[in-house]
Each structure stands twice: as structure tokens, then as C-alpha cells.
Structure 1
């Protein structure tokens, strides 16, 4: 309605302008040879106005004629693009239903309709559909086509790498990743697959260089970078130690601890090497620093070894030594258990009971109740009390262990590589699910 009124308004404005120009007073005289032409000024103005309108109309018409091929191409492009998007949607539906043959056909159709800049998803669908059909060659061709576009290159690399890894050819996967990273130096995210495969191929020195580049471009978090760098230095240090290159192992462990002072595996290895080399003070400093950061109970064994010797009263010295480490973390359940165990070892029953009571207030645990069992066996020797403690131990949690973040398997000691999967640096120190203690269960069954 409004557009119609506006159109009528424009018509009336043009008519009004034409009438106004036609009635303008005055005349225009034109002399040409022996002819004299006198025309009213309004008529001249009206003719000029009409000429302007005709010229404007003709130029617009000519512009439309010349733009017709371009408009036709644009319309054709939009129609093809719409068909391409529809084909992708149908290909996704077919793939989700397991119809890989139809999914491949529709993805191929989508690629024909879509421009090259938007063909990434269709190529990816083709690759996975071909893989689902068992056509490995077509799958590899589609993945390689993804490498030509910077936006989809990472998808192509991941697909080719996954294919090579499934075939067990990690060396080829690394070559593919490096070639892709070299071909697209500005795509810094391709550094991560290169780094992962260098780790997988146990190329530790090259992995350290790649990790420096990753840190520069902030592809991984600072915590992940610190942890991985420490893990790599630990692996190198372990290898040097196995080959009896103790000085080199010590340097590598120092680099690992320097990269991540919160790494308990690095601290334990460095302290052990220092202790074996007679550097007790250095070992003690490492353990104290890591214990202050982590309170990891696996450090307590080394701390006990570092206890100074006192010929006059070794019993009190060892007890005070363990009490001292517990003072760093008064709420450490494991530290109090270590104090109680030391007290039991030296027949300090009152101190042992006090430490166990404090530990029990923090939280119950299997180790706590087994120490109560041991204490009762050495003092009261009451079978009923022992049975009660064992019953509690069978129901209590087993405490923290090294657990793989990917497989959730439990390990007693930290290892850089989880076999047979080959995962690197995936062990975390955390609480394990409650499991029945076999020793306690066996005692309960026999005494029933």
C-alpha cells in the first residue's frame, strides 16, 4: 500500500514538473541561415526534461542488458549452492544411517555444486564414506584434496595421519604431518600433529624443538607444555641412567624438575640420582620443594631415607624427622600415616595412636585401618578388634594412585608411556575407586 502511494506521488511530481516547465513565460529564438525559429521557453524546457528522462531510461536499459549475463551467473551460482547444501544434509543423514554408498554419491554431488572455498565438508564426507565402504584409495584422495585449502588442511592431515596410524605406519604419518606443516607454515595448528607423532615415534629431541614452537604460538596450555617438557626430559634421563651415564641423567632430571617443579616423578628421579651420587643436601632440597607443592605421599619413602643418623637416639630422630615433613602439610592424611608407621616401627604406641586418630579425622582409608590392625596385633592382640579394623579397611577407599586419564587404568608407579596404547604423559595422581582389599577379604573369610 505504501509503495503504491509513493509510486503515485512520483508520477504526480513528474506531471507537475512537466506542466510547470510548459507554462514558463518567455521564448527562445534560433537563427540559422535565412531561417528564424521562435519557440516558447516552456516548450524548450519540457523537451529538455523529456530528453533527460529518455536518456536516463535508455542508459538503465543498456545497463540491465549488459548485466544480464552476470545476474544469470549469480542466480545459477545460488541455485547450485542451494543444491550443494541440500546434498550435504542428505549425505549426513545417509552416513548416520550407515548408507555409505549413498552418502558418498551425495557428498560427491555436493562437491560438484559447491564452490571450492566451501567444498571442505563435502570432501570430508566423501573421505569417511569411502572409508566406510572400504575404498581406501578414494578415501585417501579426498583427504589429500582437503590439504589444498588452508581452512580444511588440518582435517586432511588428521584423516591421512589416522589412516596411516591404523595401518601401524607411524613413520609415514609423521612424514605426512611434516609435509603439510611445511606446505602451510602460517597454519600453526599443524604443529600439534607433528609433535604428537614425534612423541609416538620416540623422537624426543625433535619433539622438544616442536614443543618450543607450540609454546611460542600458544597452541597448548602452559601447564600442558610444562608437564610434557618435564616428561620428555624424564624419558631421556631414564635412558641415560639405564646406560650408566649418571652425570648426564642428573642433568636431564634437573632440566625436567626445572621445567616443572610440581612433577613428582622428576623430583623423585633427581633426588634418587643425587642420593646415589652422595649429594644428600641437594636431594633433600628437591624433595622439600616438591613436597611443599604437591604433598605426594610417594615422596615419603625418599624422605625417610634422607633421615640423618643419630647414634645416641635414632628412634627419636626418625620420629621427629617424619613429624617435621608432616608439619609442611598438617592436613596431609598420608603424612600422618607415615608418622604413625614410624612410631609403630619404634614401639611408640601412644604417638602412633595419636597420629592415627588425627589421620582418621581427615578421612578414612584402607592404609589407615591396616595400620590400626598392625598396632592392635602388637599391643592388645584382640581378634575382635582386629576383625573390626579389617572390616573397615575392606570398605574404605584405597587412596590415590597414578591413573591414566585416557584408559583409567591404575599404576603403582609413574611411567611416561602407557603401553600398549602408547599414550604419553597421561598419568595423573588422584583418588581411585573403592576396591576390596584382597588381604583383608581373605582374613575375614578365614576367620568367619
Structure 2
């Protein structure tokens, strides 16, 4: 529409100009080299226009003849590039579909037509990878490393190849170099972080996590959690030899993740050792409300050394009220009552757990109560020991399918940070045969437990 309006406007201007010239007749006289040419103004203007058109056509022909070689060369180059990108596209499709022969053929065509383009080198490397030619793949990735524009991409390829041949030293070096060149590259940060965690370099791992959080590579909540886990690992290492440094790290971890059980346990123990019982109790209580855990109960009941068993029983009752009488709270209260030789209270605390599939710990606790009340080797004690052999298992620390009696900052399988969770292991589908052999051990352990 706008083009039509513009055309009409130009046509109107031209018509107005023609009328204006027609209303104002005049003549044009040209004298040159003894010749005199006289004509009207309108004819002179038409002649000038025709001359301009002729000159334009002549110039176009001359310029076309002058630029013809370059035009032919550029056309050939463009056709060559078009064929190269077609081969590149088909090669990528072949790689994606897992056709090594087609991928290598198209990669060769693309390299011949396009030269050492980044995508050409990448296609060549991927074609070599799916063909199983590791040497050719590494050679292509090395050529990419030599080019500043594709250096990080080449380092990633070399990193993957080093991992495949289980060369951890080279893989770490490639990842570290990539992280240095491009701090925001996720795979390099993950690889360096994994290596530092595997080496126990918790301080270096903490720096990586903080950098990832500041760059927005991970969510803020995840960064806070990972920082808390790494600070807890640092406190765990220093707890025995450097209590002050361990306390500082544990308190930082608790501030970041108040519900992190290991951090609260370490902070509670260390604060209790230096006499800050009120703060220690506050930290443990906050973690207990979020995640009732036997380690927290153990720390809380033993905050003050030298307390009587009655004092510990009172604190166990406090824990039970804080967590609204969860199963873990009842077990802790039953243990405290048992230690205080208040067997009736221990039985009362654990009784609600007996109606809905008592776990191994619950059955063993009942066996100890029966033994204390009715004597060693009583029928009731042995009955509970037999039930313990087939009872559902209690929660343990589990990461990537691996169960552990203690918490660790990383998974022993994948190296993932904060992988361990406190949960009950899955029951066996084919029965409880593996626990049959554990029954005599559980029975002897329960019967051999010292009486308070």
C-alpha cells in the first residue's frame, strides 16, 4: 500500500513538473566548436534524460566486463561453499543416526570443500568417534585446540576421549584448562569440582561452587546447599585436630542449611565441648525439627558430660515433643528410658511403633526390654530377635544405590555432592534371605548388650 502511494506521489510530481515547464516555454542554445544548436527546453530535458540512460547502460556493460572474472570466481566459491554446507548438514544427520560410513564420507567432502572450518573439524571428530577411530578423533580435537576460536570445544573433546581411556590425569588437565579459559563453561566446572572432591580438596571445591553460584550456573538454593555440604566436610576433617576451625566451618554450614544433620551434629558436639550448651542445643533442636535423626538425638542427649541417666531421659522427652513424637523420637526416648532402667516408660514410648510393621531397631529394642524384665534367653526376647531378622530395615544413608552407616559429602559412585539421603533401603523382592544369616548376630548382639 505504501509503495502504491509513493508511486502515485512521484507520478503526480512528474506531471506537475511537465505542466509547469509547458506553461513556461523557453529555448536552449548550445554553441560548440563553430556549431550552434537551438531547441526548446522540453526537448533539451528529454535529450539529457536519454543521454543519461545510454551512458548508464554503457557503464553497466563496461563494468560487467571488468568484473566478470571476479564474478565467476565468487560464483564458483559460493557454489563450493553451498555444497560444503550441504555435506556438513548430511554428515551431522549421519552422526545423529549412527551411520559411521556416511558420516566419514560427508566429513571428508565437507573438509575438502570448506577447509578447516570449526564445524568441519567437529564433524570429522564425531565421525571418527562413532567409527571407533579414537586416534583420528583426538587428532581432530587437537586441531581445534590449536585454533583460539575452537579451543574450548577441542578441550572438551579431548576431555571426553581421556575419560574413555580412563586417563584421569589428562582429563583433569583438559578440564582445568577449559575452566581457566572459559570460567562459565559448565562441564569444565563440574569436572574440576568432581576431581577436587575426589582428592578431598574441599577448599578448592568450595571456590568452584561459589564461582558457579556467582555466574548463575546453578540455582542459588543449590549453591547454598552445596556450600553447606563442603563446609561440613571441612569441619569433619578438622574436628579432631583443629576444633576451633572445625567449629567455624560447622557454624557457617548450619547458617546456610540449618536442616543439614551432619553439620548440626558437628556444631553441637564442638559447642558443647567449649561449654556453649545453649547454642548447641538450639542448633540441634532446629535440625531435629526438620529431620529427626538418631545422630542428632545422640548429640542432644550427651550435650553435658556427667549428666545422670534421668537428665538424659528428660532431654529425650523434650526431643519427642519437638518432633511431635515421630518414630525416631520414640526410639530415642525408649533408649533413654532403658538406660534409666525405666522399662515401663521405654515400653510405653515404643508401643505405638509395634502396631505398624516394627523395624529392625524397634524389634531389637523390644528384645532388650524383654531380656531386662524377664531375664537373658527369655522366650519373649528370642521372639523379638526372630522378628528382627525379617523386619523392615531402618533408614540409612544412601547415595546412588550405595548404603552407608555414616554420612559422606559426595557419592562414592558418581562423585555427586550432597548425594546421601537418609531413607529406608528398599525391601528385597525375593524375601529376606540375606537377613537370615544376620539373625544370630543380631540376637547375640542384643543379648550381649551390657545392662545399665
**TM more than 0.5:** yes
Tell me the TM-score normalized by structure 2: 0.71
**1:199–1:207 CA contact under 8 A, matched in 2:** yes
Matches within 5 A, 1:6-405: 28=27, 30=29, 32=31, 36-39=36-39, 41-58=41-58, 66=67, 68-69=71-72, 70=74, 73-93=77-97, 96-97=98-99, 99=100, 103-114=103-114, 119-120=118-119, 122-131=120-129, 133=131, 135-147=133-145, 153-184=151-182, 190-241=188-239, 244-275=241-272, 280-306=277-303, 314-315=309-310, 317-330=311-324, 332-343=326-337, 346-349=341-344, 352-353=347-348, 356-357=351-352, 364=357, 366-367=359-360, 370=363, 373-374=366-367, 377=370, 390=387, 394=390, 396=392, 398-404=393-399
Bigger Cα displacement from structure 2, 57-66 vs 168-177: 57-66
SS of residue in 1 equivalent to 2:396:
strand
**1:161–1:173 CA contact under 8 A, matched in 2:** yes
Per-residue displacement from partner, 1:241-297 (whole Å, max 9, x unpaired)? 46x444444444344444433321222233334445565445433322322343334
Q: CA separation in 2, counterparts of 1:240 and 1:31?
A: 106
Q: CA separation in 2, counterparts of 1:231 and 1:42?
A: 92
Q: CA separation in 2, counterparts of 1:162 and 1:80?
A: 27
Unaligned runs of 5+ in 1: 1-5
Q: CA separation in 2, counterparts of 1:102 and 1:84?
A: 11
SS of residue in 1 equivalent to 2:27:
strand
Q: CA separation in 1, counterparts of 2:40 and 2:359?
A: 117
Per-residue displacement from partner, 1:418-446 (whole Å, max 9, x unpaired)? 447655542223343224665579879xx
Bigger Cα displacement from structure 2, 163-172 vs 264-273: 163-172
Q: State which of 429, 432, 443 in structure 1 corresponds to 2:425.
A: 432
Per-residue displacement from partner, 1:112-157 (whole Å, max 9, x unpaired)? 445866x34x534433443455544322222234446788655433
Q: 1:443 to 1:78 in 2, by over 3 A?
A: closer
Q: CA separation in 2, counterparts of 1:360 and 1:59?
A: 104
Q: CA separation in 2, counterparts of 1:201 and 1:72?
A: 57
Q: CA separation in 2, counterparts of 1:226 and 1:31?
A: 90
* Cα-Cα RMSD: 4.6
